[in-house]
Amino acid sequence: MATTSKLNPRTFPRPPLCEKTPRHLQVKWNGQLIADTKDAYWVLETHHPPTYYLPPSSLKVPLQTTSNSSWCEWKGRATYYSITNPTKSEEVVKNRAWSYDTPTDGFKAIKGYLSFYAGPWDCYVDGERVEPQPGDFYGGWMTSDIERSTVKGGPGTWGW
């Protein structure tokens, strides 16, 4: 997706918008591709960079459900997963990928789709390695086309 101006999360909608994105998304762990798709959704919410949801068919490694869950006022209850490193079977990461198995009506399109925190793996949008949204609570992916000064998650931004 070529853009001539930055995306400004301050102007993203509330409640959030869920829509298909043509962007090419990849997740790699120690150089090994663990997810790859051009058939994803992004959720755009005020003061957040996009959160991407990848179809289960894009995943190249197995998932295990964990006992962790969380609640989103917009999307409903999230299910979290553990993923085993494809190059180091003793390395298992828990609760850094999630999905909504029974999302609210406005988010039915992402039912079962997977989202990943940026880390410990590397996440890419159209070949650009992303940075995680500031803080460790939100799952947005920061790319060079995001206006960073309007992003929630870092120190002092909780009450936005």
Residue 1 has pLDDT above 50, yes or no: no
Provide the pLDDT for residue 113: 98
Quick one: tokens of 134? Answer: 């500031």
Domain 9-150 bears CATH identifier 3.40.228.10: no
What is the mean predicted confidence (pLDDT) over 114-119?
Answer: 96
**What percent helix, strand, coil does the chain show, rounded to 5?**
10, 45, 45
Q: pTM to 2 decimals?
A: 0.93
What residue ranges do the domains of the chain occupy?
9-150
Quick one: tokens of 6? Answer: 């930055």
Burial (0-12, 13-18, 19+ Cβ within 10 Å), 22 = exposed
